[in-house]
């Protein structure tokens, strides 16, 4: 196809593309919402925006708050007695992995960056069994309110991240993070203190995509 013909075809199809975006986009989000609700043992608030169907494994013991913004490519897994609890107005970016054998909680208003891994269990080592069959040791992970976790962060079992903390991109969080603190690095270390987090009450504006 010549460049001129391709340009003419693009111009001719632009109105159809715009119509498709207006119609298909909302329908895709609605279908993703329905698919997620079908997998849950509890309710899913209508205010939750689901841009792509999350991959859910295990017992599906998930408690999801209101006005969440869920990007595509999420992986949510609960095993044994584990559960995941996500507060209101949390944003889970593309590719976030959350695995709970005991407990993972994320407080209201927190932002979780792309491809972050939050897992509360590790395979046991030093046993005769291969790692796949050795079982798990788990400790709860608790992430406070108004926390901002950057892209590619790893949060290890037993960690508590305080309200208003910020975790720099690609950090590995091996120990507790105090409230209103910026941490970064491998392992994550305190860089500086921050202003206390604002109120977690909704400001009145809807998140994008609602």
Q: What average pLDDT is seen over the chain?
A: 89
What's the pLDDT at 203?
Answer: 47
What's the pLDDT at 201?
Answer: 47
Pure H helices in the chain: 3-39
Give me the mean pLDDT over the 200-205 stretch: 48
CA atoms within 13 Å, Cβ hemisphere of 96 = 24
Give me the mean pLDDT over the 45-71 stretch: 95
∠174-137-180 over CA atoms, to 5°?
Answer: 30
pLDDT tens digits for range 81-110: 999 999 999 999 999 999 999 999 999 999
Give the Cα separation of 59 and 69 in Å (integer): 22
Catalytically active residues are 123
Give me the mean pLDDT over the 116-144 stretch: 88
Residue that wins the pLDDT comparison between 113 and 8: 113
Q: Which of 137, 45, 55, 38 is nearest to 86 (CA)?
A: 45
Residue that wins the pLDDT comparison between 36 and 196: 36
pLDDT tens digits for range 116-127: 999 999 888 878
183, 171 Cβ separation under 8 angstroms: yes
Q: How many residues does the chain have?
A: 210
pTM: 0.85
∠150-79-144 over CA atoms, to 5°?
Answer: 35
Give the Cα separation of 128 and 125 in Å (integer): 9
């Amino acid at each position: 196809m010549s460049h001129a013909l391709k340009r003419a075809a693009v111009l001719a199809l632009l109105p159809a593309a715009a119509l498709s975006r207006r119609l298909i986009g909302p329908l895709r989000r609605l279908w993703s919402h329905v698919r997620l609700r079908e997998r849950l043992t509890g309710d899913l608030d209508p205010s939750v925006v689901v841009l792509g169907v999350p991959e859910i494994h295990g017992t599906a013991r998930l408690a999801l708050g209101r006005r969440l913004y869920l990007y595509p490519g999420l992986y949510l897994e609960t095993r044994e007695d584990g559960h995941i609890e996500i507060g209101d107005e949390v944003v889970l970016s593309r590719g976030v992995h959350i695995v709970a054998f005991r407990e993972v909680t994320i407080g209201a208003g927190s932002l979780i960056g792309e491809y972050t891994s939050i897992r509360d269990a590790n395979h046991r080592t030093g046993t005769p069994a291969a790692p796949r069959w050795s079982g798990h040791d788990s400790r709860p992970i608790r992430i406070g309110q108004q926390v901002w976790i950057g892209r590619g962060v790893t949060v290890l079992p037993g960690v508590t991240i305080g309200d208003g903390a910020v975790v720099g991109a690609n950090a590995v969080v091996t120990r507790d993070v105090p409230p209103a603190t910026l941490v970064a690095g491998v392992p994550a270390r305190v860089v500086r203190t921050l202003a206390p987090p604002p109120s977690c009450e909704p400001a009145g504006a809807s998140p994008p995509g609602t």
